[in-house]
Chain A
Amino acid sequence: MSSYSITEPSSLQKWLAGTLVVAYAVITLLPLVWILTTGFKSPVDAIAYPPKILFEPSLEGYVNLFTTRTRVAPETLEALPPPATWYEEVVRNRDMVIAGPSRYGERFLNSVIIGFGSTFLSVFLGTLAAYAFSRFKVPLKDDLLFFILSTRMMPPIAVAIPIFLMFRTLGLSDTHLGMILLYTAVNISLAVWLLKGFMDEIPREYEEAALIDGYTRFQAFYKVVLPQAATGIASTAIFCLIFSWNEYAFAVLLTSGTAQTAPPFIPTIIGVGGQDWPAVAAGATLFLVPVMVFTILLRKHLLRGITFGAVRK
């Protein structure tokens, strides 16, 4: 690269482009900022007109997210001993008492279990398959690879009908294992395609040298290839995790209680007369922030993951 290039945009051009992009970014981030702030608004502030930008922060949304509450008569409320904790006090101020924990914690935990379980399985199987596709002559290789990709073209609802029947027969409906297997099957196409791309980039000479040194294929695979592919494996894993984390269609059709994940649950958080928006926003915040953090950490590998490895740069 030369220090001066005739194709370098002028500083006016840069300034103008920068301003427009920043303006777009600010507008596009507003809905997300609104989710974050609504979680800390009191129910009254959340539905104020005009929409409040400055407000007194409140943790009521988060308290409502994690508890179920019942309304009690004022005289019963007065007869109760003084609130022992700050969150009890928040609830008492609304003439209510805490009846118990909400299901949000469980649903969030389900998302974690199913997300990590299916990610582990798809990356494990995907790494093996990708290595084989990358290094060996597999009969019908291109057909198999295309077959793996084409499984992604089915609308989830179309696959859901027989899966629903199959899970019912096998007793996998509404179980963690069922959801892990299902998400693994969906994710594995992405995992194989991405990982094959990463493995193709590792020079074959490394393994060949190891084989000459007396390593078996297996040893060469896990002592030479795996460490080289570590970054690729890690970023593939995060993409699989984000997919399982965000998935909704299968989750809403195939789970109802025990194994329900957070995405079908969050929209059902209701308060008095409709959705309890501060609680919904609080639930959404806790659910979305980990993905935002991963996105920022992963920004260099982003493109490859979301395009199935079709765009490498």
Chain B
Amino acid sequence: MSDTPIDRVAKATPPSVASKIRGLSDRAIAWLFVLPTIFLLLAVNIFPLIWTINLSFTNFRANRPNREVDYIGLRNYERILTDEDIWLTMQATAHFLFWTIFFQVLIGFTLAWLINRKFKGNDLWTTLIVLPMMLSPAVVGNFWTFLYQPQIGLFNYGISFLTGIDPSSFQMIGDVTLAPWSIVIVDTWMWTPFVMLICLAGLRSIPDYIYEAAEIDRASQWRQFWTITIPMVLPFLMLAVLFRGIENFKMFDLVVQLTGGGPGSITELTSINLKREAFEKWRTGYASAYAIILFVTVFGLASIYVKALNKVKER
């Protein structure tokens, strides 16, 4: 482990060279410091990206590396954009994105607002609330399948305790109408604290004197909330939405462990669908085109969003 290429270079460098390095100009040091990082990113991010673009025009299959590869132009792209199953996948992803962000913003902001009432011990409780989002989504997601079991699962038991519905009468994961909500619930459970933390930072950045001035002007609490609190927190809230949006568009580990995309393909989000095409059906060329489409979508949406965010910040 310790014998990385960098270590080897360091060992192989004779002292005279080392003393020369010490006298290097600032410019040379700047490059010396930046280049290893750039090189690593080129090798593990950009080179693969270019390779993916190249593969996306072929009918290559990774499980048959010796078969001849044909360039088939834009056929993969054409097939993906006209495939109805992929549109269903996109719809599942959109449903997941919309509702997770909706609930996380609603609950996260409310919690932050409550914590900002500065009650005694708020630090401790904030830390405890944050715990779920720091944990491994795959491990926790897997355990949620246990909590979701009819009868013996804690979740079903809790629901029946509160509403009186028979705990074995519904299956969160196995039911076509409930499964999309089962993943929304776990993601909301896990990531609400993230939105909460960012909102809390926003709320704490509002200086007291603004409220004091409003108080002197006899503005009502309600009016203060809508004309001071909300506009001042909005840039933070939008940032939280951006982060959650990108993360949930990429969502894989949590949902794969929870439902595996099922029942049928009701909860098959784009990443899970892509994994199936690439590593189960081994349609590498096709999956590469799919990956490029996803990347362009995220990148495009994120850029538009960042522009909007900057406008809000300028106000």
Partner among B114, B284, B295 whose Cβ is within 8 Å of the Cβ of A17 = B114
Which chain B residue lies CB-closest to A11?
B119
B260 CB to nearest A CB, Å: 11
In whole angstroms, how far apart are the Cα atoms of A192 and B35 in the complex?
13
Chain A 192-229, CB-CB to B under 8 Å as 1, else 0, gives 10000000000000000000000011110000000000
Which chain B residue lies CB-closest to A266?
B139
With A14-B118, A246-B135, A302-B130 known as contacts, the answer to whether A128 contacts B36 (CB < 8 A) is yes
With A153-B299, A188-B37 known as contacts, the answer to whether A303 contacts B128 (CB < 8 A) is no
Please determine whether B26 and A180 come into contact, CB atoms closer than 8 angstroms: no
Which chain A residue lies CB-closest to B25?
A217
Q: Which 10 A-B pairs have the closest CB atoms?
A: A158-B291, A185-B44, A18-B119, A162-B48, A17-B117, A248-B138, A136-B30, A132-B33, A246-B136, A248-B253
Extra A-B contacts (8), CB below 8 Å, given A49-B157, A136-B27, A266-B138: A20-B114, A154-B45, A248-B138, A248-B253, A249-B253, A280-B142, A280-B143, A288-B140
With A9-B118, A124-B6 known as contacts, the answer to whether A185 contacts B291 (CB < 8 A) is no
B211 CB to nearest A CB, Å: 4
Which chain B residue lies CB-closest to A154?
B295
A207 CB to nearest B CB, Å: 11
Please determine whether B201 and A117 come into contact, CB atoms closer than 8 angstroms: no
Whether, in the assembled complex, A160 has its beta carbon less than 8 Å from a beta carbon of chain B, the answer is: yes
Whether, in the assembled complex, B82 has its beta carbon less than 8 Å from a beta carbon of chain A, the answer is: no
Please determine whether B121 and A163 come into contact, CB atoms closer than 8 angstroms: no
Contacts of A248 in B (CB 8 A): 136-138, 252-253, 256-257
Contacts of B30 in A (CB 8 A): 132, 135-138
Chain A 216-253, CB-CB to B under 8 Å as 1, else 0, gives 11110000000000000000000000100110110011
Whether, in the assembled complex, A94 has its beta carbon less than 8 Å from a beta carbon of chain B, the answer is: no
Name the segment of A21-29, A70-78, A83-91 touching the other chain.
Answer: A21-29
Please determine whether A31 and B143 come into contact, CB atoms closer than 8 angstroms: yes
Partner among A7, A22, A181, A299 whose Cβ is within 8 Å of the Cβ of B212 = A7
Contacts of B43 in A (CB 8 A): 185
- Interface size (B, Cβ < 8 Å)? 108
In whole angstroms, how far apart are the Cα atoms of A125 and B38 in the complex?
10
Please determine whether B117 and A13 come into contact, CB atoms closer than 8 angstroms: yes
A250 CB to nearest B CB, Å: 10
Please determine whether A161 and B152 come into contact, CB atoms closer than 8 angstroms: no
Please determine whether A21 and B111 come into contact, CB atoms closer than 8 angstroms: yes
Please determine whether B125 and A25 come into contact, CB atoms closer than 8 angstroms: yes
In whole angstroms, how far apart are the Cα atoms of A16 and B292 in the complex?
50
A143 CB to nearest B CB, Å: 11
Contacts of A113 in B (CB 8 A): 1
A268 CB to nearest B CB, Å: 9
Please determine whether A263 and B138 come into contact, CB atoms closer than 8 angstroms: yes
A117 CB to nearest B CB, Å: 5
Contacts of B109 in A (CB 8 A): none
Taking beta carbons and an 8 Å cutoff, which residues of A are in contact with B? 5-9, 13-18, 20-22, 24-25, 28-32, 34-35, 38, 47-51, 113, 117, 121, 124-126, 128-129, 131-133, 135-138, 144, 147-148, 150-166, 176-177, 180-182, 184-185, 188-189, 192, 216-219, 242, 245-246, 248-249, 252-253, 262-264, 266-267, 275, 277, 280-281, 284, 287-288, 291-292, 294-296, 299, 302-303, 306-307, 310-311, 313
Please determine whether A155 and B294 come into contact, CB atoms closer than 8 angstroms: yes
Which chain B residue lies CB-closest to A20?
B114
Please determine whether B38 and A121 come into contact, CB atoms closer than 8 angstroms: no
Whether, in the assembled complex, B120 has its beta carbon less than 8 Å from a beta carbon of chain A, the answer is: yes
Contacts of A217 in B (CB 8 A): 24, 26, 29
Name the segment of B67-75, B84-92, B267-275 touching the other chain.
Answer: B267-275
Please determine whether B29 and A136 come into contact, CB atoms closer than 8 angstroms: yes
Which chain B residue lies CB-closest to A181?
B44
Please determine whether B36 and A284 come into contact, CB atoms closer than 8 angstroms: no
Which chain B residue lies CB-closest to A221?
B29
Contacts of A277 in B (CB 8 A): 146
Please determine whether B138 and A295 come into contact, CB atoms closer than 8 angstroms: no
With A5-B208, A31-B154, A291-B134 known as contacts, the answer to whether A25 contacts B37 (CB < 8 A) is no
Partner among B29, B125, B205 whose Cβ is within 8 Å of the Cβ of A313 = B205
